[in-house]
Amino acid sequence: MNTQAPVINDAHRGPGIREQDLQPQERFEDELILHLERDQFVAETSRPVPRATLSARATAGLWALRVFVVLVSLMVIYTFIEQLN
């Protein structure tokens, strides 16, 4: 039977610290860390996701939709201004 306290490796404290040696604040932080997924940490989410590669057809389709939406939006805005007049 293993009677040793669990060892917690921690980036800001260094490896090999026994659980009973932790200060109350450090225990509190360790408990909190256990409740987050690794990729939920701000340090992880601050790292950008890799860029996706879009095919030429997909890019053309997106630009076509973008231009179309801008044109229709301009029509709505023009109509709105005309209604004001």
Partner 1 sequence: MATTEATAAPGLLLPPLTPEDTARSQDRSRVHRARRHSRRWQLLWLLVGPGILAMLGENDGPSMIAYASDGAQYGLGFFVPFIPVLFAMAFICQEMCMRVGAVTHRGYGELVLQRYGRVWGWFGAGDLTLTNLVTLVAEFISIRVGLAYFHLGSGVAVALGLALVGFTLSGGRYWRWERIVLGMALFNGLFLVAAILVKPHVGAIAGSFDFSPFPGGSFNTLLLLLASTIGATVTPWMIFFQQSASADKGMTPRDVKHGRYDTAAGAILAAIFGVGALIAGAVLLGHGGSGIEGFAGAGFPEALRHVAGGAVGTVFALGLIEAGGVAILTISASTAYAAGECVGVSHSFNSSPRNAAVFYAANAGIALLAATVILIPGAPLLSIALNANVLATVLLPVSLVFMVMLANDRGLMGAWANKRSTNVIGITVIAFVGLCGAAYGIDSFLQTIHLIGS
Q: Please give the angle made by the CA atoms of 18, 19 and 21, to the nearest 5 degrees.
A: 70
Using rule CB under 8 A, residue 56 touches partner 1: no
Which residues neighbour 80 within 8 Å (Cβ) at sequence distance 6 or greater? Answer: none
Asked if 72 touches partner 1 (CB under 8 A), the answer is yes
Which position among 2, 34, 55, 57 is part of the footprint of partner 1 (CB under 8 A)?
34
- Read off the tokens for 8: 């917690």
Binding site for partner 1 (CB under 8 A): 6-12, 29-45, 48-52, 54, 62, 65-66, 68-69, 72-73, 75-80, 82-84
